[in-house]
Amino acid sequence: MIAYLDSSVILRLVLSEPNPLREWLEVHQAITSAISEVEVLRTLDRLRFSVPTIDPRALATRREAAFRILEAVETIEITRGVLARAAQPLPTPLGTLDAIHLVSAMGWREQFERLAFATHDLALAAAARASGFEVIGTSQG
């Protein structure tokens, strides 16, 4: 399976949270937006402040895991075209970062073959479905 991964999927894996992407082992090619690196690393950095008792070594291990995943996936750069498309009306309401994720996946899908959209975010899943994607990672997908 070829899948676009949004940041929620990567973070759930890195943080060993419950209910990670059950199709993870079926994904043989993964794609994400360059925004994912920022989102994932900012989330890990915020843990230092929101969980003051977090072991710095455990946090370093999580960052290492994040870098391993991010290095293994194909990254779609955030171009002016991606930003312009994300600024246009979309089928459902989305925030800025989610819109960038969605249009990044749409652009990749236009150039290549079938692409599943992996997310744990219900609003992003709804927008991806409305845009014709097979969605994995949510209870409705």
Q: List the domain boundaries for the chain.
A: 2-136
The pLDDT tens digits for 49-101 are 888 888 889 999 999 999 999 999 999 999 999 999 999 999 999 999 999 99
pTM of the predicted model, to two decimals?
Answer: 0.91
The answer to whether the beta carbons of residues 80 and 99 sit under 8 Å apart is no
The percent of residues in the chain predicted with pLDDT above 90, rounded, is 82
pLDDT at 139: 61
The answer to whether the beta carbons of residues 65 and 106 sit under 8 Å apart is no
The CATH number of 2-136 is which of 3.40.50.1010, 3.40.50.300, 1.20.58.1610, 3.30.360.10?
3.40.50.1010
Residue with tokens 């199709």: 23
Of the pLDDT bands very low, low, confident and very high (cuts 50, 70, 90), residue 138 is: confident
Q: What is the mean pLDDT of the chain?
A: 93
